[in-house]
Amino acid sequence: MPDRPEHRPVLAGNAVLQGPGIRLEPLPEGHLLHVMGAIDDEGLAGHLSAVGLEASTIRSAGYRQWFIAGDDALPSSRIAALSSALQGSAFVSDQSHGRVRIGLSGPQAAELLAKGTAVDLHPSAFSEGRSTVTLFGHITLQLTRIGADSFELTALRSFAEALYEELEALAVSLGAAPEL
């Protein structure tokens, strides 16, 4: 018997739903790092590049807080390298094990999201690259616009299945079906 339980992606068995104007999909669990400190976006981007994480995205998570997200799992040595690079200006907390990312895209994505959150999703109010912490129904999540009609939702791992089920029901109501 192993000392620790084997990691299983929480949404691994969930189907991708696709419809004429909507796509819902579980995203790779990859990495999600919470950075807190006295640094700005440009400085943080420079440090990410210096440690080989330039493919990761930076998302605002509040005053002097960011999430660094990417599709690949990071070895602890890469996280330690970023922590060392930021020493004296910011701290890094690995949240990869505790949060799950979900992709939602298509012309009806904002319509679906409007059924569960009070965020104004019009592109003039919530532009590409913008991120906010909000509720979807009763579940807290970070909502990021990653494209004109594309969003990424990041929720606590323990709420990810419930959130995905709710999003599935809404996507089906908009004409989505499991992708074959």
Sequential pLDDT tens for the chain (180 residues)? 567 666 677 888 888 999 999 999 999 989 999 999 999 888 999 999 989 898 999 998 889 999 999 999 999 999 999 999 999 999 999 999 899 999 999 999 999 999 999 999 999 999 999 999 999 999 999 999 999 999 999 999 999 999 999 999 999 999 999 987
35 and 82 fall within a common domain: yes
37 and 104 fall within a common domain: no
Torsion of CA 108, 109, 110, 113, to 10 degrees: 120
Does residue 3 form part of some domain? no
User: Chain centroid to CA 70: how far?
Assistant: 9
Q: Quote the domain boundaries for residue 133.
A: 18-28+98-178
**How many domains does the structure of the chain reveal?**
2
Q: Let me know: does 155 contact 167? Beta carbons within 8 Å.
A: no
pTM (whole model) above 0.85: yes
79 and 44 fall within a common domain: yes
Where would I find the beta strands (DSSP E) of 27-162?
31-37, 57-62, 65-70, 90-94, 99-105, 131-136, 139-147, 150-156
Does residue 163 form part of some domain? yes
Q: Which of 94, 115, 139 is the last residue of a domain?
A: 94
CATH code at 75? 3.30.70.3400
Query: Token pair of 51, please?
Result: 């440690």
